[in-house]
Chain A
Amino acid sequence: MGLSDSEKRRVIEMLDSLGDSERRATLASENSFLAWLKRAASWLWERLSSGLIATVLDWLWRIFVG
């Protein structure tokens, strides 16, 4: 039977909304990880420049959490 145009539009809207929500949840998780890491491994900040911290944080996130 197939989906009508309005149903297709609603599926797209549903997927967009789902994707946005998951991105916001991931961001909340990343912020939480950063807060913990800043306290638990403060030496990491002393050792790295600010530009490198963002890269390292991204790597750590992808290795251990994401």
Chain B
Amino acid sequence: MSRNQSSDKKGQKKGLRAKLAAVLGGPKMRELEDLIRKERAIPPRIAVMGKAGVGKTTTINELFNMDWTISHAAAGTREPRTEYFDLTSDVKVAVIDMPGLGEDLDADIKYFAMYQDLMPNVDVVLWIVQANARDLSEDQRILKEVVSTGSRETLKRVVIGLNQVDKIGPGNWDEKLNYPSPDQAVSIARRCHDISEKLAEITRVDPEQIVYYSARRRFRLAEIKQAMIHAAGEKGWKLPVRSSNPLELADSEVQEFARTLRNPKKD
């Protein structure tokens, strides 16, 4: 956003605030502002779960347009690790990085209990699965064990993200457009539909809460975000809607063409 646009937006907000104050009256306006400010100060809690190496860090970084690098260092972590991030001056988010599953059977038993304890206490559970994995039986086993035993209220907060769809074939990722080729788009939709059906049956999670995407390509981030906002219920509005822009990863010609579409020159 340019400096002029930002200043326009600030001016508009000021005008709206004055109109609202005129409708509500000063004391009620202050009460409302205070209420919203206090609520916004409580960061929404997002637990990121899944097997090691599924792209938990990349997903969080691209969803919230930030640069979180601790997860690799914490690959061997045995406890949930909570990090608070300032997304803007008044918006924070708490991300709980969970130990990766599927590496050690004994550890998994302990981690299952840890996952189950945590799930009812967060606003959103983002469970990431690698959509391009050849064998999803282990993911299915883990999800069945951990997620399907949750209460109805807990299940509402779960979003299952099918990541790395850019690696699904037949068909290739179009690097120039940073978008799946038409062939690949068909393959992705078909494979992810099959996975979603299976996972919805196993976990009892609403199929609309199972979303395919690619974090590193920034593909369908808005869809994941929408599912997370929905899952967070009354807390969802505190999650910023905007994610990293996929066009930034496209060829410069594509970026230029997109710019001309958005800002057509006037004769």
Contacts and interface: CB of A to CB of B under 8 A. Distances in A.
Nearest first, the 6 closest Cβ-Cβ pairs linking A and B are: A32-B236, A21-B222, A33-B237, A25-B226, A36-B234, A32-B237
Given A1-B253, A7-B177, A25 B23 contact: no
A28 B253 contact: no
Interface in A1-50: 1-3, 7-8, 10-12, 14-15, 18, 21-22, 24-26, 28-30, 32-33, 35-36, 39-41, 43-44, 47-48
A22 B246 CA distance: 12
Contacts of B95: none
Contact of B222 (A7, A24, A39, A52): A24
Contact of A21 (B20, B177, B220, B254): B220
Contacts of B241: 22, 25-26, 29
Contacts of A52: 23
Given A10-B179, A25-B226, A59-B20, 20 more contacts: A11-B254, A11-B261, A14-B179, A15-B261, A22-B222, A22-B241, A26-B241, A28-B226, A28-B229, A28-B230, A32-B229, A32-B233, A35-B234, A36-B237, A39-B234, A48-B23, A56-B24, A60-B20, A63-B16, A64-B36
A44 to B, nearest CB: 7
Contacts of A8: 257
Interface of B: 12-13, 16-17, 19-20, 23-24, 28, 32, 35-36, 39-40, 174, 176-177, 179, 220, 222-223, 225-226, 229-230, 232-237, 239, 241-242, 246, 253-254, 257-258, 261-262
Question: Interface extent on A, as a size class?
Answer: 35 or more
B12 A7 contact: no
A48 B20 CA distance: 12
B23 A56 contact: yes
A8 B254 CA distance: 8
